[in-house]
Amino acid sequence: MTPLGQRDSRWGNIALGFSNTKIKDFGCVITCIAMLAGTTPDVVNRELKRVGGFANGNLVVWSKIPAAFPQLTFITRSKVYNNDVVKANLPCLVEVDFDNSPNSFGNHWVIYIGNQRLLDPWTGQERSTSSYKITKGYAIVKKKELIEPEPAEPQETPPIPETTPEPIPTPEEVPTDGTDTESVVSRDFVDTTWVPADSGDTTRGMDSSVNPFGGDTPTTQPEAYQEVPIGQLPPKSIVPLETIWRAIINLFRRLLRR
């Protein structure tokens, strides 16, 4: 921040606000504002006049400062000094007694910058805060980029709806009704395997030269006895009793002939 003096010849003789007084005599407030805004007292004087920022001719209307300089924000003005508040808001405008005497009306404004230092518009120099023994109040005017944003309120996380897990499908159970799904022939069928007692053949299967159901013509198993693919069991069938008896009689006849 560059120190500026209200008695500088470049603007000291300009009328303050709408009055006949001069910046060099009573322009301490606008010179402090100029240091905060990074401009000069004559510019502050002109811009405050443009936005109606003076009352009673030459008294600064604090609330009009942001209208003249949008980069600044006016927060508060107190007529009672509070050192903790000032230290928490540096750089801060502080109202002091110019004569260091409680019996005189010598109000003056400076900028406290920390480390017990201030910028004094009367001299245009940096000085010790002990230069003015009596403090009367303060005003907080900040640059917008120096204002700390308020912490955002934590947002509540919406509750997760309770869900019932779907049952995991299980493999289809093996039937327990006595049906063997790997059997190629239903257990309800008659075993048609026939092996002659004196043939010495140990293989299972029907003798193609003998037809136990009658006749000498080689035969194959009836349709009901045909092998079927695994899992495709044929419907249950009933062999007529007469056919069974005829097969038994023909079998005995063949045996007797031998």
184 and 132: one domain?
no
132 and 39: one domain?
yes
Give me the domain span that covers residue 49.
23-144
90 and 199: one domain?
no
- Nearest-angstrom CA–CA distance, 119 and 91: 10
pLDDT confidence of residue 221 = 47
Would residue 125 be called left, alpha or beta, if left means φ above 0 and alpha means ψ between -120 and 50 degrees? Answer: beta
Total H helices, total E strands in the chain: 6, 8
Q: How many CB atoms lie within 10 A of CB 10?
A: 12
140 and 218: one domain?
no
131 and 45: one domain?
yes
189 and 136: one domain?
no
Overall pTM > 0.75: no
111 and 30: one domain?
yes
CA 104 to chain centre: 62
Which tokens sit at 164? Answer: 């019932």
pLDDT confidence of residue 224 = 45
Q: Is residue 157 part of a domain?
A: no
Q: Is residue 160 part of a domain?
A: no
Q: Is residue 150 part of a domain?
A: no
Q: Is residue 12 part of a domain?
A: no
pLDDT confidence of residue 185 = 37
Which amino acid, residue 210? Answer: V
Low-confidence stretches of the chain (pLDDT < 70) are 146-154, 157, 161-239, 258
CATH assignment of the domain containing 66:
3.90.70
Count up the domains in the chain and report the number.
2
- Nearest-angstrom CA–CA distance, 56 and 44: 17
199 and 247: one domain?
yes
Q: How many CB atoms lie within 10 A of CB 129?
A: 19
pLDDT confidence of residue 222 = 47
83 and 139: one domain?
yes
- Adjacent-strand bridge partners of 76: 140
Q: What percent of the chain has pLDDT over 90?
A: 52
115 and 216: one domain?
no
pLDDT confidence of residue 69 = 97
Q: Is residue 15 part of a domain?
A: no
- Nearest-angstrom CA–CA distance, 102 and 120: 20
DSSP-H helix ranges across 114-234: none
